[in-house]
Chain A
Amino acid sequence: MTLAAELKDTGPEKLLAPVLSAFWDEDRSWTLDVYRRHEGYEGLRKALAMSPDDLIAYVKESGLRGRGGAGFPTGMKWQFIPQGDGKPHYLVVNADESEPGTCKDIPLLFANPHSLIEGIVIACYAIRSSHAFIYLRGEVVPVLRRLHEAVREAYAAGYLGENILGSGLDLELTVHAGAGAYICGEETALLDSLEGRRGQPRLRPPFPAVAGLYACPTVVNNVESIASVPAILQNGKEWFRSMGSEKSPGFTLYSLSGHVASPGQYEAPLGITLRQLLEMSGGMRPGHRLKFWTPGGSSTPMFTDEHLDVPLDYEGVGAAGSMLGTKALQCFDETTCVVRAVTRWTEFYAHESCGKCTPCREGTYWLVQLLRDIEAGKGAMSDLDKLNDIADNINGKSFCALGDGAASPIFSSLKHFREEYEQHITGRGCPFDPAKSTAWADRTEVNA
């Protein structure tokens, strides 16, 4: 059956495609034993039987694209590493997941860390690296514990260390816990932080592929991108391309959150729609309707209920005016005040702005001041244009993408919900009751 035919069938069994999450419900799913029972480290054997260049070409042909937000082809990133340059090469895995709404890598690493480790070994073989790093945000100690244990198991079983599976490949893997800064998810800031410096983005070029960690050629990949590689090797690039679309092939983790009946992780072929995901999972919480949502975390321009049928792949979301980002589908119902939500996001960006460049440091600060005034009913109509103007001065003019991310909820909320901003100003306050948007607002009262 072709995928198009499959998509017509609306059953969740047909629409979803658990690969990375396929055995998360098994007892001790994070252990090497369970992982090996599910063909774990078989993809590595296939990879080691290929030449590194062929392996890079294979991953490129599979069409795998970065799952961290930008969607850059993973194989191409590997190909950029200059070979025979006599310098050490590094692979750095970006596990600094901290975009509001994004919550895929943390459950993945908690339940199935070996898929990442296997992917790392494969990637390092391809780019001829003998030292890889996992940069994990520091605030998730339960995940860090399992990564420590999984790496220990992998060393003990000979998947890491010297002469891996008799291939002659030597690989050291270091798990590094960051101090919990959003900016360290930006790849060059991550490298600075990993080197022991304050996490601030670097001027590019040179790009990390040329001068990354310790000024050596470095690949920085998202957790999910690397963790998807073993399954591609094991099941074949054709299998991978049989899911999703021509330009966005494969499976991915969608994270539903917010005012939905069943928040959580849904692994599906790229191109599924929010309508399909909501229909299979019970929709919005009972008695409420979708008001606005983000396709890929707070820094992707927000959508409304008009966009329920946008295919959630890189091209589909892009064509509708947003970005697929991290597939963090934060859904808000009609009880939510847009101004309040945007204010909270903007407070986040102001807090997380590293301060290196003026547009972002000053711009996010002033956006928060204006938004708080508007939320409190102290705003003026001219403030709306001012918001737009400040966001315009950040967007595209800041040092890294954090600034662009801060601007996008401002632009998109003003575009879709300008009237609601105006109500706050003319009505001298917020027309919404925040208690109604809490997770417990509709639960039956119990006398205690």
Chain B
Amino acid sequence: MGGDAIFEALQDHLGLGNGETTDDGKVTLEHIECNAACDYAPVVMVNWEFFDNQTVQSAKRLVDDLRDGRTVSPTRGAPLCTFKETARILAGFPDEREGAVDAGGSAGPASLVGLRLARGETAPARVVHPRDGGPQDAPQDRAVHDPSPNEHLSSHDAPQDTSASDPAHPAGPTAEEGE
């Protein structure tokens, strides 16, 4: 589906091999095995939070944002915490942050496709941001790229992505081409 392409592109982009860490200590790149999210493939995880429906371009921007200290938001789940805090949750201590359990909505769009069909709703739920609630048409051709400052505009080797896979950079009818 593209996981190999994303992993290779990130290795090139960061100049890292599998399991290596950038000089600034911000990003460690690791090849992950099955993460029970094939319905959102390809998936990248940061601190065990889901970043669904990624492309080469969105994954590169994700690591750039992480290295520059910009806020990134997972597609499903709570805002990122430090890995130390993640480890505490894994050890059995509940996440006490306000709204952390609520974050990400009830279910991602792919989790709801069958339910919507069973109800007689036919709108494709694939390109909908889970936090925006119900299905809505988000034509892909209207998605506008909002590049990070350090991203070279011609550096993308993947086509344009939609806001569904990159909630940190919502792009939609409110943004005009060229803004």
Q: B40, B114, B126: which contacts A18 (Cβ < 8 A)?
A: B114
B44 near A: Cβ within 8 Å?
Answer: no
User: With A16-B114, A24-B112, A440-B55 as given contacts, are A142 and B77 in contact (CB-CB < 8 Å)?
Assistant: yes
Please determine whether A21 and B34 come into contact, CB atoms closer than 8 angstroms.
no
A203 at the B interface (CB under 8 A):
no
Check B1–A438 contact: CB distance below 8 A. yes
Interface residue B124 (Cβ < 8 Å from any Cβ of A): yes
Size of B's binding interface in residues, CB under 8 A: 68
Residues of B within 8 A of A352 (CB): 33
* Contact surface of B with A, Cβ cutoff 8 Å: 1-2, 4-5, 32-42, 45, 47-50, 53, 55, 74, 76-78, 86, 89-92, 94-95, 100-102, 104, 106-120, 124-126, 134, 140-141, 143, 145, 147, 153-154, 156, 158-161
Across the two chains, which residue of chain A brings its CB closest to B101?
A149
Q: Which residues of B contact A446 (CB under 8 A)?
A: 141, 143, 145, 159-160
A-B contact pairs, 23 of them (CB 8 A): A21-B115, A24-B107, A25-B112, A28-B102, A106-B36, A107-B39, A137-B36, A139-B35, A140-B35, A142-B50, A145-B77, A145-B101, A148-B92, A148-B101, A176-B92, A182-B33, A263-B41, A264-B113, A281-B114, A348-B34, A438-B1, A448-B145, A448-B153
Q: Which residues of A contact B47 (CB under 8 A)?
A: 141
The answer to whether residues A142 and B94 also contact, given A18-B114, A100-B34, A348-B33 and a CB cut-off of 8 A, is no
- Which of B55, B143, B158 has the most chain A CB atoms closer than 10 A to its own CB? B158
Complex interface: chain B residues within 8 A of A325 (CB): none
Interface residues of A in 229-274 (CB under 8 A from B): 254-259, 261-268
Chain B interface SS verdict (over half): loop
Residues of chain B contacted by A13 (CB below 8 angstroms): 117-120
Of all chain B residues, the one with the shortest Cβ separation from A29 is B106
B-side contacts of A30, CB under 8 Å: 101, 106
In angstroms, Cα B37 to Cα A139, docked, is: 11
Interface string of A100-133 (1 = CB under 8 A from B): 1111011100110000000000000000000000
A319 within 8 A of partner (CB)? no
Chain A positions 434-448 with a Cβ under 8 Å from a chain B Cβ: 434-435, 437-440, 443-446, 448
Q: Are B38 and A330 in contact (CB under 8 A)?
A: yes
Question: Is B39 within 8 A of A177, CB to CB?
Answer: no
Please, which residues of chain A bring their CB within 8 A of the CB of B86?
141
Q: Does A27 contact B (CB under 8 A)?
A: yes
B1 cross-chain contacts in A, Cβ below 8 A: 258-259, 437-439
Contact between A266 and B38, CB atoms less than 8 A apart: no
Query: What's the Cα separation between A255 and B113 when bound, in Å?
Result: 10
Taking a contact as CB atoms closer than 8 A, the residue among B48, B53, B102, B115 that contacts A22 in the complex is B115
A328 at interface, CB cutoff 8 A? yes
**Does chain B have a CB within 8 A of A26?**
yes
A434 to B9, CA, bound (A): 14
Q: A28-B106, A107-B107 are in contact. Are A144 and B141 (CB under 8 A)?
A: no
Known: A98-B36, A142-B74. 19 other contacts (CB 8 A): A24-B112, A25-B115, A29-B106, A30-B101, A30-B106, A103-B39, A140-B50, A148-B89, A152-B94, A175-B92, A255-B39, A257-B38, A259-B1, A263-B110, A281-B114, A440-B2, A444-B141, A446-B143, A448-B160
Nearest-neighbour CB distance to chain B for A233, whole angstroms, equals 22
Total contacting residues, chain A, CB less than 8 A: 76
Q: For the complex, what is the distance from the CA of A140 to the CA of B45, rounded to whole Å?
A: 9
The 7 closest A-B CB pairs, nearest first, are A142-B77, A446-B160, A266-B114, A438-B2, A264-B110, A257-B38, A264-B113
Q: How far is the CB of B89 from chain A (nearest CB, A)?
A: 6
A52 CB-CB contact with B under 8 Å: no
Which of A26, A137, A256, A444 is close to B39, meaning CB atoms less than 8 Å apart?
A256
Query: Are B145 and A263 neighbours in the complex by a CB distance under 8 Å?
Result: no
A315 to chain B minimum Cβ distance, whole angstroms, is 23
Q: Are B39 and A257 in contact (CB under 8 A)?
A: yes
> Of the candidates B53, B104, B106, which one forms a contact with A24 in the assembled complex, judged by CB atoms under 8 Å apart?
B106
- Which residues of A1-59 are within 8 A (CB) of B? 12-13, 16-18, 21-22, 24-30
Closest residue of chain B to A138, judged by CB?
B90
**Contact: B94 with A99, CB < 8 Å?**
no
B98 to chain A, nearest CB (A): 13
A267 touches B49 (CB 8 A): no
Give the distance in Å from the alpha carbon of A142 to the alpha carbon of B94 in the complex. 11
Closest to A326 in B: B36
Give A101 to B111 CA distance when docked, in angstroms.
14
Chain B residues with CB under 8 Å of A100's CB are 33-34, 38
Q: Across the interface, which residues of A come within 8 angstroms of B45, CB to CB? A: 139
Alpha-carbon distance A265/B156, docked complex (angstroms) = 32
**Does A444 lie within 8 Å of B159, measured CB to CB?**
yes
Does chain B have a CB within 8 A of A97? yes
User: In this complex, what residue of A is CB-closest to B95?
Assistant: A145
- Chain A residues contacting B110 (CB-CB under 8 Å) are 107, 262-265
On whether the beta carbons of A177 and B92 are closer than 8 Å, the reply is: yes
Q: Using Cβ atoms and an 8 Å threshold, which residues of chain A touch B39?
A: 103, 107, 255-257, 263-265
**Minimum C-beta distance from B158 to chain A (A):** 5
Are B159 and A445 in contact, with the CB atoms below 8 A?
Answer: yes
User: Which of A26, A137, A145, A445 is the most central at the interface, judged by chain B CB atoms within 10 Å of its CB?
Assistant: A145
Q: How far is the CA of A138 from the CA of B86 in the complex (A)?
A: 10
